[in-house]
């Protein structure tokens, strides 16, 4: 019996991109349903009544919410191909720690690089670079956070890359200048077809961020 898999998502969401990459890594066929976040659909509100957010994975009618939880679910259900989390419980705890760190630190800090100005923006830039440097420290000399292979942490972090052009343009800084090793890791991830196909064009994201900035009246 074929699985019915539906993804409620928004094209520019770094959280939705995580799920798209995970499904692609596992070769899972699914129906993508673009959501209007300014006018949420009854389906989204029914499937995620608690947070009312995307992404939501609907697997045979049952919804799974929160991107890192969805990715773990995908890894457990479609376990015969492309393992994302490590086998060893300690390594798994470390991978979960770093995804939790990314979830706690990347979004709010990165948002402030384009959504604020003046001193608040300067402070956000510094903090954002610090976060990338901390992640760079964890990566060390490994090709991926997962070691030799692309894994859970890589998958959860790389979607942010399509927003970097926006952070750098509005924040007036360069990630490559500040964290070259980080960009080297990005390049390796982008060589992966599942990643390259899932990330939207950074210029399109920039146009979207420009519209958002006007909506929240940053200038």
Binding footprint of other proteins on the chain (CB under 8 A): 50, 59, 62, 64-66, 69-70, 72-73, 76-77, 89-90, 92-94, 96-97, 100-101, 134
Q: Which is nearer to other proteins, 85 or 162 (CB)?
A: 85
Instruction: Please provide the distance, in angstroms rounded to a whole number, between the alpha carbons at the two ends of the chain.
Output: 54
Least separation, in Å, of the C-beta of 76 and other proteins?
4
Residue 97 Cβ vs other proteins, minimum distance, rounded to whole Å: 6
The token pair that represents 59 in the structure block: 């697997």
**Least distance CB 142 / other proteins (angstroms):** 18
Instruction: List Cβ neighbours of 48 (8 Å cut-off, separation of 6 or more).
Output: 8, 54, 56, 63, 65
Could you tell me the smallest distance in angstroms from the CB atom of residue 30 to other proteins?
Answer: 16
* Nearer Cβ to other proteins (22/205): 22
Residues with Cβ within 8 Å of residue 144, at least 6 apart in sequence:
150, 151, 154, 185, 188, 189
Query: By C-beta, is 10 or 73 nearer to other proteins?
Result: 73
Nearer to other proteins, 73 or 173 (CB): 73
Shortest reach from residue 66's CB to other proteins, in Å: 6
Q: Which is nearer to other proteins, 85 or 209 (CB)?
A: 85
Q: Which is nearer to other proteins, 64 or 158 (CB)?
A: 64
Query: What's the closest the beta carbon of residue 214 comes to other proteins, in angstroms?
Result: 30
Q: For residue 7, what is the enclosing H or E element?
A: strand 5-9
In this structure, which long-range contacts are made by residues 110-115, counting pairs with CB atoms below 8 Å and at least 24 apart in sequence?
110/160, 110/163, 110/167, 113/167, 113/170, 113/171, 114/166, 114/167, 114/170, 114/171, 114/209, 114/212, 114/213, 114/218, 115/212, 115/213, 115/216, 115/218
Residues in CB range of 157: below 8 A, 6 or more apart: 102, 106, 135, 145
């Amino acid at each position: 019996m074929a699985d019915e898999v539906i993804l409620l998502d928004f094209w520019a969401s770094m959280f939705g991109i995580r799920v798209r990459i995970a499904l692609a890594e596992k070769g899972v066929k699914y129906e993508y349903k673009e959501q209007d976040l300014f006018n949420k659909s009854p389906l989204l509100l029914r499937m995620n009544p608690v947070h009312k957010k995307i992404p939501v994975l609907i697997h045979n009618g049952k919804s799974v919410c929160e991107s890192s939880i969805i990715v773990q679910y995908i890894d457990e259900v479609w376990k015969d191909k492309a393992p994302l989390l490590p086998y060893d419980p300690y390594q798994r705890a470390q991978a979960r720690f770093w995804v939790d760190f990314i979830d706690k630190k990347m979004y709010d800090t990165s948002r402030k690089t384009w959504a604020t100005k003046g001193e608040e923006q300067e402070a956000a830039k510094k903090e954002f670079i610090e976060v990338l440097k901390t992640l760079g420290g964890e990566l060390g000399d490994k090709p991926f956070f997962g070691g030799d292979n692309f894994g859970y942490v890589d998958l959860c972090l790389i979607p942010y890359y399509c927003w970097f052009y926006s952070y750098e343009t509005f924040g007036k800084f360069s990630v490559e200048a500040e964290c070259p090793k980080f960009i080297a890791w990005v390049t390796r991830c982008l060589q992966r077809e599942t990643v390259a196909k899932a990330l939207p064009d950074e210029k399109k994201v920039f146009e979207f961020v420009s519209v958002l900035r006007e909506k929240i009246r940053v200038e």
